[in-house]
Structure formats: structure tokens, C-alpha cells
Structure 1
Amino acid sequence: MKPDWKNFLEHAGAEFEDLAVASFGNAERELRVTTTGDVLCDLSHFGLISAYGEDATDFLQGQFSNDVAQVDAGHSQLNSYCTPKGRMLANFRLFKPGDTYYLRLPQALIEPTLKRLRMFVMRSRVTLENADDALTRIGWSGPNAATELSTALGGADIPETPDETLSHDELSVLRVPGIHPRFEIYGQLEAVQRLWDRLNVHGAPVGAACWGLLDVLSGIPTIQPQTSEAFVPQMANMELIGGVSFQKGCYPGQEIVARTQYLGNLKRRMYRIHVDLNEVVPGQEIVDAAKGESGMVGRLVEGFRHPDGGVEGLAVLQIQSVEDAADLRLGTAKGPRVSVSPPPYPLTADTD
């Protein structure tokens, strides 16, 4: 994070924890307004990897699960980077405001992902860099978010559907899925500072966990270090949310991802869950209490506090266990009960 941006946020009341904004001084109020009002969030807990050069498109196309050729100034996409066994090392949003591609993913996965990608550059004319300081990034969400953002940008058009992207001077505005209109905005420091000040009049600044809750409520998973290599993309519903192409060429793990899709043998899916706790950790096991300690049936992707109490999360679970309404518990057979509900989209989709 640029020192000038951190100083700006601190002046606005930001309190930091592990280099992420924990809150702006009233975490409980911020949590309550997240699901009902207009909220503004620093996104520096996500890092950026840049990729540019004559062969950048072809190189990324050979590495990722989605069709990179579809990303341009008007479209971003969800994507994933897999092992040869089809397990996701990371997932991310990919966008391209000019001649450079950017991967937006958790800070903790920036260096491992960058190191692995560089192993395969060989003679490709592509440059890969940690671009954490290249673009300042914020999120904006709420019932009035679309109208207020347009006003803050001088009446400019804004993206109308998820994955649509528009540029305004020094800013790139990405529409992302949400329970309300929701946007990620990237740009040069001064331009983002000006926009923050305009939006701050109409919304409440919130901490990073609030943005994570909005991802969970939208059914959008984020792979963390604890879950890296844990899931095939379909287990985390990536093909249902536009994160996998079945028509593109080869990439690491492509055969397994395709076989899983066309043989119809997927035994695990991602669901929304609720647990009566104040905090959970990505990667925690979920077990069937009737089967004891050997009855692991799933794993937590992420979870965040909900204003109505407890933690709302996403978890990859055995489909059969969900259909059987098994007594699911977090951690151990005697752990807190896990309530399951479907994500906010159908659990079936046509291949593209």
C-alpha cells in the first residue's frame, strides 16, 4: 500500500490490522449498514499482478481456466489458476484497462502466484510484476450505489451488468456481482482520493471484512492460502459464475476440469452456510456428526460476521450430505452446527 494512500485512509478514520482496514472506528455500525446501505471500502487487502508484452494474451490464455481473449477495456472476468491435477492454486478477477492485464487476488497469494507464473514464461515476450502500487483500489456498494457513482463521476455512464467495465479519465470502473449494485474502482492515487471524498458524503466507509461478507452473500469464493489446491473450479461453482471456459485451448488441469464437467461426476458443490460463532478460519473442516471424527464432508472457503448474528460463509460440501440433511458441524463432530442454504444462483449451468 502506498504510504500516501494509507495516510489518506488514516486521516479518514481507518484503523488497520495486518495491513488491511479493520474498521473506521465503529465496526458494529459498519457491519449493520453493509447489507442495507451504501458502503465504501478500501481494497488494498487484495493485491495486483500485472502482465504485459507482445505475448501477454497468449501466455495467460495457456495458464488460466477462462478465455482471456474475452477480457478487454469493456469486460473483466473471474478466472482461476490450477495445478496439473485441476486444483485451484488461486482465483481472481482479471481486467485490462489498457495494454496491461491485472490479476486481483489476496495479498498473501501474490508472490506464490507470481513465482509460479514466471516459471513458465520461457521465451514468451511477457513481463509479470507485482503491481501493488500501480493502481489504488476501492469498492462501492449499496442500493443507491449506481446513481451516486454516476453523479460522483460527473454524470458519466457506469457499467450496468456484472463483468462490464468502463473507463473514466484515470479510473477503471468494474461492475461485480452483489446483493446491491456493486463496483470495484481502480486508478491513480489522486483520482481515487477525489472519488473517495465525493462518495464518502453519501456512504459509510467500512472495513475489509464487510467487503468479504458481500462476496459471500453474492456466492463469490476467494481462494486463500489455507484453501489453495483444495478445490477443482467446479467444486467452488466457478463455472456457474463465469470463471471457466470449456471452449478454449489447453491450460494446466484442463483435462480434469473438462472431464469433471462432461462426465457429470461432481460430488461436491459450494453452498452458503451459517455458524453461530463470531469468527471462522478458511479451510476448516466440516464433518457429519453421525459419522464421528472420520466423517469429513467438506471444507470452509471463507466466512464473515453477519449483522443478524453469527458467521455467514461459503463451504464446499458433499452434495449427498446436503441432500440428506446431515447433521453438519464445524471442526469436529461436537463443534457448532452448520446450517446450509443454496447460493444466490442455480447450481446447474450450460457449458459455454
Structure 2
Amino acid sequence: MQENWRNFLRAQQALIENGQVVHFGDPVSELAHTQAGTILVDLSHYGLLGLSGADAGVFLQNQLSCDVREVSADQAKYGSYCTPKGRVLANFIIMDIDGEWLLQLPMDLCASIQKRLSMFVLRSKVDIHDRSGQYVRMGIAGAQANKLVASIAGTRLDLDNGSALKIIHSEHAHVICHAPDRFELIVSEKDAQELWCLFNGNARPAGAACWRWREIHEGVPVITTATQEQFLPQMINLDIIGGVSFKKGCYPGQEIVARTQFLGKLKRRMCLAKIATGEPVNDGDDVFSTEMQDQSCGTIVNAVPSVEGGYDVLAVIQQNSINAGSLFWRKPGGPELIIGTLPYILD
């Protein structure tokens, strides 16, 4: 997070810890407003890796699970970077901003993913840099989000769910359309404060957890340090939201990912659930079932406090255990997971 931007947010009453905004003074009220109103969120908890050079596109095509050829200046995509065993090291949004490939992923994964990608550049004409400090990113979501973003985009935003990750460019911002009522603005530091103040009158500033609450309810996972190398891309539903191509060429783990897809051996899927507990729920926590007794049947991918109390989570769980019911957090007979409904259909 840039120093001037950090100082600006603190002047707006932001509590900042470990490079991300925790809240603006009232986390409970901010979370409630996330469901009923319009929120404005700093997204500095996500970092940006930039790749450039004559061979950058081909290099990424050979490393990532998504089809990079489908990315353009007007369309971003979800994707993942896997081990040779097909396990996800990181998932991200990949985009083309000002002629440079950008991967947006959790800030604390940027250094390790940059280092690993650099190992495979070899003689290719590819440069990899951390661009996290080059832009300010802010999110706006809720009932008034479309109208507010349209006012600075200079165009109507006639969007539906089929427009996910469409990019609209304006004089002052690159706008990523995550959903019809959720947008991300990528802006220069010099424009960031003016835009924040412009939106602030009609959207409530909120902490990073409020943005994650929206992502969780849209079924968008985020791999963190606690869950690296635990899941195939399909387990976290990346194939459903467009983060996996089964028609492109090879990439690390491609053989295992494809074999799982075409032989129908996927036994675990990510689902939305609620856990009624006052204790903290963390990424990587185990899920148990009556059916499997003391053996874990699943893993928490992401968790945030719920508007209604307790926690809302994305969890990868064995499909047989989901069908059998009676799922528990952290230990057999612990707080129960109540399965919710994702906005897309699981196969």
C-alpha cells in the first residue's frame, strides 16, 4: 500500500493492519450495510504481478490453467497456477492493462509466485515485476454501485451475469465488472483520493472482509497460504467460473486436471455454507461428517463473519458427505455447517 494512500485512508478513520483495511470504525454495521446498501472498499490486500516482453503471452499460456488467448483489453479472466500434480498454488484474475499482463492475487502470495514463475522464464523474453504499488484499487458494490461507476465510466453499464470480468476503460479508471452490482476500479494514485471522495457520499467505506463476503456469496474462491497445494482447480469450481480451459495446450498439472475432468473422478466440490459459532473460523480448517466419523471430509477455503452472526464460508467437501448431511466444523459433533446455494450450478 502506497504511503500517501495509507495516510489518506487513515484520515478517513481506517484501521489498517498488515497492509489491509480491517474496518472504518464499526465492522458490524459495515457488514450489515454490505447486504443492504452500497460499500466502498480498498483492495490493497490484493497484489499485482506484471508480465511484459515479446514472449509474455506465450509464456503465460504455457503456465496457467486458463486460456490466455481469451484475455483482451476489454475482458479479464479467472485462472490458476498449479504444481505438476495439478494442485493450485494460487488463483487470480488475469487482465491486460495498458499493454501489460497483470495477475491479481493475494498480496502475501505475490513474492513466492513471482519467484516460481521466474524459474521457468529461461531464455524467453519475459520480465516479471511486482506492480502492486503502481496502482490503487478500490471496490464498490451494492444497489448504487452501477450508477456510481457509470458516472465516471462515461457510459451506461448494461451488464448481466454473462458480463463477468468485462473491463471498461475511462479517463480516470480501468473498471472491472465482477458482477452487475460489484465493480473494481484500477486507478493511478493521483486520481485515487478524488474518486474515493466522489463515491464516499453515496457508498459506505468498509473493510476488506466486506468485499470477501461478496466474493464468497458469488462463489469466487481465493487460495491463501493456508490452502496452497490442497485442491485441484475443479475442486474450487474454477472450471465453472471460467478459470480452466480443457482445449488449450499443456501447462503444469494439465494432465491430471484433464484426466480428472474427462474420467469423471472429481469427488470433492466447493460449496457455500454457514457456521453458527462465536469462535474464529479460518482458511484451512477441517470439516467432518457423521458418515466419516474421525476422518476429515473437507476443508474451509475462505471464511468471513456473517451478516447474521457466525461465519459464511466456502468449503471443499466430499460430495458423498454433502449428500449424506450432518457436516461439522473442526471436529466431529462440532458446530454444524448449513449448506447454502451458490449462484451457479454444480455438476
Tell me the TM-score normalized by structure 2. 0.96
Q: Which residue of 1 aligns with 2:219?
A: 219
For 2:33, give the aligned amino acid: V
Q: Distance in 1 between matches of 2:67 and 2:10?
A: 39
For 2:187, give the aligned amino acid: G
Matched, 1:266 2:266: yes
Q: Distance in 2 between matches of 1:244 and 1:193?
A: 36
Q: Which residue of 1 aligns with 2:335?
A: 336
Q: Distance in 2 between matches of 1:123 and 1:159?
A: 44
Further displaced range: 125-134 or 281-290: 281-290
Q: Distance in 2 between matches of 1:80 and 1:252?
A: 10
Q: Distance in 2 between matches of 1:223 and 1:82?
A: 11
Q: Distance in 1 between matches of 2:195 and 2:3?
A: 18
Structure 2 gap ranges (5+): none
| Alpha-carbon contact 1:159-1:166 (below 8 Å) kept | no
Q: Which residue of 1 aligns with 2:183?
A: 183
What is the 5 A alignment of 1:64-143?
64-143=64-143
| Alpha-carbon contact 1:41-1:208 (below 8 Å) kept | yes
| Alpha-carbon contact 2:291-2:324 (below 8 Å) kept | no
Q: Which residue of 2 aligns with 1:292?
A: 293
| Alpha-carbon contact 1:159-1:175 (below 8 Å) kept | no
Q: Distance in 1 between matches of 2:18 and 2:98?
A: 32
CA offsets, 1:115-155, max 9 Å, x none?
Answer: 100000001101001111111101010112111211244x4
Further displaced range: 142-151 or 159-168: 159-168
Kindly report the root-mean-square deviation, in angstroms, between the aligned alpha carbons of the 2 structures: 1.3
| Alpha-carbon contact 1:73-1:97 (below 8 Å) kept | yes
Shift of 1:308: 1.1
* Helix, strand or coil at the partner of 2:32: helix
| Alpha-carbon contact 1:304-1:313 (below 8 Å) kept | yes
Shift of 1:158: 4.1
| Alpha-carbon contact 2:144-2:202 (below 8 Å) kept | no
What is the 5 A alignment of 1:1-352?
1-153=1-153, 155-158=154-157, 160=159, 161-177=163-179, 181-278=181-278, 279-293=280-294, 295-325=295-325, 327-348=326-347
Shift of 1:190: 1.6
Distance 1:264 1:291, change over 3 A: closer
* Helix, strand or coil at the partner of 1:4: helix
Identity %: 38
Q: Distance in 1 between matches of 2:13 and 2:155?
A: 29
* Helix, strand or coil at the partner of 2:199: helix
* Helix, strand or coil at the partner of 2:29: helix
Q: Distance in 2 between matches of 1:222 and 1:88?
A: 10
For 1:52, give the aligned amino acid: S
CA offsets, 1:255-284, max 9 Å, x none?
Answer: 111111111111000000111124211000
Structure 1 gap ranges (5+): none
| Alpha-carbon contact 2:109-2:225 (below 8 Å) kept | yes
Q: Distance in 2 between matches of 1:106 and 1:274?
A: 24
For 1:282, give the aligned amino acid: D
Distance 1:324 1:290, change over 3 A: closer
Q: Distance in 2 between matches of 1:242 and 1:104?
A: 16
* Helix, strand or coil at the partner of 1:292: coil
| Alpha-carbon contact 1:39-1:141 (below 8 Å) kept | yes
* Helix, strand or coil at the partner of 2:293: helix
| Alpha-carbon contact 1:158-1:166 (below 8 Å) kept | no
* Helix, strand or coil at the partner of 1:184: strand
* Helix, strand or coil at the partner of 1:227: coil
| Alpha-carbon contact 2:65-2:81 (below 8 Å) kept | yes
* Helix, strand or coil at the partner of 1:241: coil
Q: Distance in 1 between matches of 2:281 and 2:200?
A: 30
Distance 1:143 1:317, change over 3 A: same
Q: Distance in 1 between matches of 2:106 and 2:268?
A: 24
Q: Distance in 1 between matches of 2:72 and 2:85?
A: 29
| Alpha-carbon contact 2:175-2:186 (below 8 Å) kept | yes
Shift of 1:18: 2.0
Shift of 1:289: 3.6
Tell me the TM-score normalized by structure 1. 0.95
For 2:168, give the aligned amino acid: L
CA offsets, 1:169-210, max 9 Å, x none?
Answer: 242100013xx6111111211222221111111110000011
For 1:27, give the aligned amino acid: P
| Alpha-carbon contact 1:306-1:312 (below 8 Å) kept | yes
For 2:221, give the aligned amino acid: P
